Amino acid sequence: SQTIHQWPATLVQPVGSPLSLECTVEGTSNPNLYWYRQAAGRGLQLLFYSVGIGQISSEVPQNLSASRPQDRQFILSSKKLLLSDSGFYLCAWSSRPGHPSDGELFFGEGSRLTVL
Amino acid sequence: AQTVTQSQPEMSVQEAETVTLSCTYDTSESDYYLFWYKQPPSRQMILVIRQEAYKQQNATENRFSVNFQKAAKSFSLKISDSQLGDAAMYFCAYKIYSGGGADGLTFGKGTHLIIQP
């Protein structure tokens, strides 16, 4: 069965410090990968998605970047965090067309980032 | 751009009763998916139910069912025999059927469901 894990679960960082959130998927190959941010009362906002190694699409301009160094690894980074980067970050994966779960997103446990 | 609207920020229901959560969406596409996700206090998003737009029959999953009105662009979730474990944030989501593209889901802002014992 497929599993997705992201870490760390909780992170408290000072303004101006770097960030690295990591996400890995097991039990599937060549998944689509996604990073979402969830702010209070605002639902989930898609930040980045990737269809393959080294292929990253950004949905919104921001202080963050994403990378996919391996097929099932997705990393969210920042060189200098801002207060506005605080939030709950969710990694997700989806299967390729033709799979019965086509269209569905499978989410990780989430990472709570607090920037002070 | 597609939008998803959940007009009820919070709903409350007595245990064992039935509750309906509303969702409307705006799209010019004819082929798409609709989803309801549940986010309990643990914060992990869990799929509750999904509906393909080409299917006229409403999806059901045990105590959960939807009322999909394509012409009205409405996709409500009905929870029957509400249980304490149903307490969570519920998100309605839309995804265009892009035949292989990696478009993510577009989410509504959520409805906080409270179950009264």
Which pLDDT band holds residue A100 (cuts at 50, 70, 90)?
A: low
What's residue A90's pLDDT? 96
- Amino acid in the structure at residue B104: G
Which pLDDT band holds residue B41 (cuts at 50, 70, 90)?
A: confident
A40 contacts: CB under 8 Å, gap ≥ 6: none
Average pLDDT over chain B, rounded to whole?
92
Q: Which of A6-15, A77-86, B40-49 has the lowest mean pLDDT?
A: B40-49
What's residue B66's pLDDT? 97
- Which candidate from A88, A97, A109 shows the least CB-CB separation from B99? A97
Which pLDDT band holds residue B99 (cuts at 50, 70, 90)?
A: low
Give the residue-averaged pLDDT of B109-114: 96
CA distance A18 to chain B (A): 24
Closest chain B CA to residue A56: B102
Distances (CA, A) of A27 to A2, A30, A94, B116: 4, 10, 12, 39
Task: Give CA–CA dist B61/B52, Å, rounded.
Answer: 14
Task: Give CA–CA dist A110/A89, Å, rounded.
Answer: 5
Dihedral sign computed on CA atoms, order B10, B36, A33, A110: positive
Instruction: Write the pLDDT tens digit of every residue in A8-37.
Output: 999 999 999 999 999 999 998 889 999 999
Instruction: Write the pLDDT tens digit of every residue in B58-98.
Output: 999 999 999 999 999 999 999 999 999 999 999 999 998 76
Is it the case that residue A96 has pLDDT exceeding 90? no
* Contact across the interface for A43 and B47, Cβ inside 8 Å: no
φ/ψ bin of B73: left (φ > 0), alpha (ψ from -120 to 50), beta (otherwise): left
Q: Collapse the DSSP code of B84 into the 3-class scheme (helix H, G, I; strand E, B; otherwise coil) and give the result.
A: helix
Average pLDDT over chain A, rounded to whole?
90
Is it the case that residue B100 has pLDDT exceeding 60? no
CA distance A44 to chain B (A): 6
Task: Give CA–CA dist A24/A27, Å, rounded.
Answer: 10
Q: Choosing among A89, A94, A105, which should be mutated to test the B contact, i.e. which has the most B CBs within 10 A?
A: A105
For chain B, count helices (H), then strands (E).
0, 12
> Contacts for A21-25 with beta carbons within 8 Å, 24 or more apart?
A21/A75, A21/A76, A21/A77, A21/A89, A21/A91, A21/A111, A21/A113, A22/A73, A22/A74, A22/A75, A22/A76, A23/A73, A23/A74, A23/A75, A23/A76, A23/A91, A23/A108, A24/A72, A24/A73, A24/A74, A25/A72, A25/A73, A25/A74, A25/A93
- Which candidate from A43, A88, A112 shows the least CB-CB separation from B107? A43
